[in-house]
Structure 1
Amino acid sequence: MHQALLIPEVLLDIFAHLTRKIPLGRKSLAALATTCKAFHEPAMDLLWAEVHQLEPLLGCITRLHSIIYTQHKWWTSHDYHSTWAGLPDLEPLSAHETCQFLRHSARVQSLIIPYHDRLVHFLSAIPIETCVFPGLQSLTWRLSTPKYMDIFLPHTLRKCHLSTVNETLKYLVARRSALEHLSIDHFDPRAADELSLLSDSVRLCKRLVRLSCPPLDWAAWKHLSNLPTLLGVQIDAKRSAFLWPLERDMFNSSPFLNLRDLSIMHSSAAYIIAVMEHSQFPSLIKFTVRLELPSPAVAEQLFHTLSQCTTSQILEEIDIILDDYEDDYPDPDNDQDPPPPGNILTVIPHLLCFTQLRILELDFQGSYIRLDNDILLVAMSAWPHIHTLKITDSSLRPSVTFRGLFTAMRQCPHLDSLEIVIDTENIDIDPNAEPTPHTSLRTLELETDHYWVRNPEAVASIIFTWLPCIDGAGGGMENVIFYLERLRAAALDAVEAVSYN
């Protein structure tokens, strides 16, 4: 055996590669564990590090092995709930069987308990003081009850994912207030007691690093603002009609000193505006919003509030999606219908203060972002570090031209990915003029007011000469790609001919 294989760190790297890159990696780890003593412990640690159900662990019990794996084969083609229906009639693990179980459960670092798991009852006879999962760091608990949960809550637990807001959440945080990562999927917007339970539970967490949950009340926001450990918060209302009255009894919170990532999804614009107006985010790097498109006046207020935030000098990523607006809009195939004046949003000027932007993605459905050559030039001049720029809406007549686009792009030497609505019909640059190539752009999507570019050969020639490093194209450019590939093939043939001669 090579001496390098006797170094634990080297072995762990090799074995970890097996589980990530190679098919049947877990079978390979099992084989390695029986190869020699040096391989046994690190291979077994990785083999049992992530367990997605209790079946593998219980399958190691002699009495249950044939039952578990016979049922498992049946389950692959039948209903899960009926498959395990008879198992609760079997006896829980005995003291001897518990020792067998602990041989492998002590290695588990990440565990998922699925919905209606009927196998948990096998652990019910284990004494409460027994540390069944002493190394468990991450737990996904999808059961609706905290029954038997104590044996899954070691002091090492730092991350927990719950499916709903119920008594399980209160039980969890009461016993593990040192949780660092807490995620809750769903809640009933009609149940005020669930929302109160959620906010009260969050206020018991003292060391949160990342939180993902439904909307919180203002007392919970106040508590979070005082946590120096907090780095990321995602609020997701899952398109419910819920509106938490943040405006009532509101006061300014303490600064979120170290919060770097804030995401508010499927909530109301009023909720987001209230949070931004009454909070300070001096360290915020990424801000994400997704909600149903509000009225134009409220949308403008949202962007104005964002521009007044204390993050303007450091914010690097903004991702805002506004969709599902219910008003009727003009037919985009009717060139005679101008966009309704009240639905044109002048959002870009509100974002010019974010001089450190590296990623900006604005996706508006049912409204129109005011964007032309002049606005684009001012914007790109304000964002010299921009790497990814995506501005899409339901605009009827693109106002940005090729000349305006290339002039603006000179201000952004690091631009790598671009998606924008552009006028591809009125080509306002001389195809025979000496180009000034932009060599950092790799991905391009040019949306048009039609499903395809009407002059694909000319557009392909412009892209080929002005943007020579493009390796990905999309949007309405499907018919452009054909001509672009022909130009590249011809250029490659020319280079090969010169090299041959």
Structure 2
Amino acid sequence: MARCLFIPEIQLSVFQWIFVLDASHERHVAQATLAALARTCSAFHHIALDILWQQFGTIARAIQCMPHDLWGGDAIKSESGCICLKLHRHLTKDDWNIFRRYALRIRHLSLATQDVRRGKKLMVDIDDELLACLASMDATQPLLPNLTSLEWIIYDERDLRLIRRIMTKSLTSLFLEVWAISPVPDLLQFISSIAPTCPSLRKLTVHSVALSSHLRNSVSQTLCHLHHLTTIHCGILDAEVLNHLSRLPSLLELKLALQPNAEFQNELLFEQLQVLDVHAQDIPSAVDLVSRMRNKLTNLSIFSDNHTGASVLAQLFRRLSTFVSHDSLRRLQIMVAERPPHDLFSVLKLEDLHPLLSFNRLTHVLLDTGCGISLDDVAALELAQAWPNIMQLVLNKFLESPLPSSISPIGLLCFLKHCPDLLELTLEIDFSFIEEQDDQSHYWVGDTTHQHLSIFDVTYSKIHDAAKVAAFLSGVLPRTVHVHYSWIHALDDQREYAERWNEASRLFMRMKR
């Protein structure tokens, strides 16, 4: 064997490429190759095992490396489809030494994936008693001393005892979900201990079903003692904590809920912040936060609970155009949860959207504003020309407007011609122009087809002739996989349009073939 292959740095570089070059979803080829290298050549053993366990190592696999008579899988699967590993006999020192040999190499641990509410599925689950036995061994040091990433769910006091044994100074990423229904006595103390226990923490996420004021205070105090954070996802933060975070030179991503009536005394720096996701009771308070930043945001998401009129939104757009860098912003999302009363329904017009057109590098725009967006074909052309790099455009996906759409298929073609990278489009279209034509050759379309659009959502577009609409769409959208609509079959006043769009979708897929 060439001498250079005995050098650990060269081995490390070559073996990492084994993982990179495996394009399969589960990385089975990379796992098999690294395992073979570790078994067949003593010179490769340690480096191959390190990479294998750093990428694929889990606490369940470390348990399964211990003698088979120690643990076993429960024959009855849980509702989430997991097989539960249970303790079959007493854990000995020899068992622990085997576990320890592999535990030293584990970098990532997720016991949050056992919770089906997060939409994940873990094939092997671990019984709490087995975890507790492991945690009771050698209490002088962490269970997984080189762990860098941890996801955990807290239901009760037992979960706290276990996570204390897993927390380590090497931890850089912590995802914590608090699902405790009844009070957990030491929870606040544990939250306060995160900073001294994990001083190198860079990513912190804290979710809770019911974030009490006491828990919020503990999270805020913890944030004030962490000085290397790059990513923060948490609940309500007050002005004082935001002032501290704004001075962190490392902070790149911040997701928070804004404290009601928060008052900011000074400018907030956030000079390196790139991603901001803010949930506020009202739009003006969120805009006040953004306008105080010296930022170069790439992603901005604003969620509001209260109904907001068109005039307030127009003011928001103007202030965003003033305070957010036009060159950096790539993704913009504005969502309003509360729908307006019918008699207070207001409408955004093209002139209201004009300030957003200055962000000419946008790739993703999602506006669900709680009020109508009145656009015609001229407006569609302006939007398409202003956002030539747009990949996702979603306008009022969940709002049925009392005003009929003024964008015709000609306006749709504007988007297709001027936005070649478009992957998803959500837009209400008036298809009457197509339905009234006797000639279905559509010569006026020319050779306009879009080769990338995958998802087209017509929201509450009205339809009368499913065949004509399907024929038109199949001609200009050959790559589109799905045509969605928002009409609901179960509602009497929407069933007619829902059935016609359902038929149009079936015809569309058949004509494409």
Give me the whole-angstrom Cα distance separating, in 2, the residues matched to 1:67 and 1:474.
Answer: 53
Establish whether residue 319 from structure 1 lines up as the match of residue 336 from structure 2. Answer: no
Deviations 1:328-358 (A, max 9, x none): 54xxxxxxxxxx5643234523422322212
User: Does structure 1 residue 272 correspond to structure 2 residue 273?
Assistant: no
Structure 1: give runs of 5+ residues left out of the alignment. Answer: 238-242, 330-339, 490-501
Letter in 1 for 2:194: L
Question: Residues of 2 paired with 1:187 and 1:270: CA distance?
Answer: 26
Q: How far apart are 1:147 and its partner, in Å?
A: 3.6
- Which residue in the other structure is 2:348 paired with? 345
Alpha-carbon contact 1:381-1:411 (below 8 Å) kept: yes
User: What residue ranges of structure 2 are gaps of 5+ in the alignment?
Assistant: 115-126, 179-186, 486-500
User: Is this contact kept in 2: 1:106–1:134, CA < 8 A?
Assistant: yes
**Cα pair 1:443 1:471 within 8 Å, conserved:** yes
Of stretches 442-451 and 350-359 in structure 1, the one that deviates more from structure 2 is 442-451
Distance 1:390 1:148, change over 3 A: closer
Q: Structure 1: which amino acid aligns with 2:360?
A: T
The TM-score, its normalising length taken from structure 2, stands at 0.74
Counterpart contact for 1:93–1:122, Cα < 8 Å: no
In the alignment, the residues of structure 2 paired with residue 151 and residue 216 of structure 1 have an alpha-carbon distance, to the nearest angstrom, of: 29
Q: Which amino acid aligns with 1:142?
A: I
Aligned to 2:69: 66
**1:240 counterpart residue number:** none
Q: Is the 8 A contact 2:59 2:106 kept in 1?
A: no
Name which of 96, 99, 114 aligns with 2:97: 99
- Whole-Å Cα distance in 2 between the matches of residues 161 and 22 of structure 1? 24
Q: Could you report, residue by residue, the CA deviation over 1:298-327 in whole angstroms, capped at 9, with x for unpaired residues?
A: 5455444433323233211112232343x5
Q: Counterparts of 1:243-282 in structure 2 under 5 Å?
A: 244-248=259-263, 250-265=264-279, 268-269=282-283, 271-281=285-295
1:194 CA displacement: 1.4
Pair 1:108–1:52, CA change in 2 (3 A): closer
CA drift of 1:448 comes to 5.8
Give 1:175's aligned residue.
197
Contact preservation (8 Å) 1:52, 1:112 = no
Please state whether the residue corresponding to 1:362 is helix, strand or coil. Answer: strand
Who is 2:307 aligned against?
A: 294
Matches within 5 A, 1:10-29: 10-14=14-18, 17=22, 20-21=25-26
2:479 corresponds to which of 470, 475, 496: 470
Contact 2:329 2:359 in 1 (8 A): yes
TM-score relative to the length of structure 1: 0.76
Matching residue's letter, 2:166: F
| 1:76 alignment partner AA | K
- Paired position in structure 2 for 1:333: none
Alpha carbons of structure 1 residues 5 and 261: separation in structure 2 relative to 1, 3 Å: same
Q: In the superposition, relative to structure 1, how do residues 40 and 15 fare at CA in structure 2: closer, same or farther (>3 Å)? A: farther
**Residue 222 of structure 1, CA deviation:** 1.2
- In structure 1, what is the Cα distance between the partners aligned to 2:281 and 2:58? 33
2:127 is aligned with 1:123: no
* Shift, 1:223, TM fit: 1.5
- The alignment of Structure 1 onto Structure 2 pairs a total of residues equal to 456
Secondary structure of the equivalent of 2:215? helix
Distance 2:208 2:221 in 1: 16
Change over 3 Å in CA distance of 1:60–1:388 after alignment to 2: closer
Given candidates 392, 398, 401, the residue that maps to 1:395 is 401
Deviation sequence 1:203-256 (CA, Å, 0-9, x none): 111111111111211111112211121111122x5xxxxx724534x2233321
What is the match of residue 176 of structure 2?
Answer: 162
DSSP 3-state at the match of 1:123: helix
| Whole-angstrom CA distance in 2 between matches of 1:183 and 1:85 | 30
How far has the Cα of 1:55 moved from its partner? 4.7
C-alpha separation between the residues in 2 aligned to 1:446 and 1:58? Answer: 48
Distance 1:373 1:19, change over 3 A: closer
| RMSD (Å) for aligned C-alpha atoms | 4.0
2:151 corresponds to which residue?
140
Query: How far did 1:170 drift?
Result: 1.4
Task: Give the structure 2 partner of residue 492 of structure 1.
Answer: none
The residue type paired with residue 203 of structure 1 is: C
Structure 1 residue 179 displacement after superposition: 0.8
* CA deviation map 1:412-446 (0-9, x unaligned): 45444322101011349982336252545523525
Q: What residue number does 1:443 align with?
A: 454
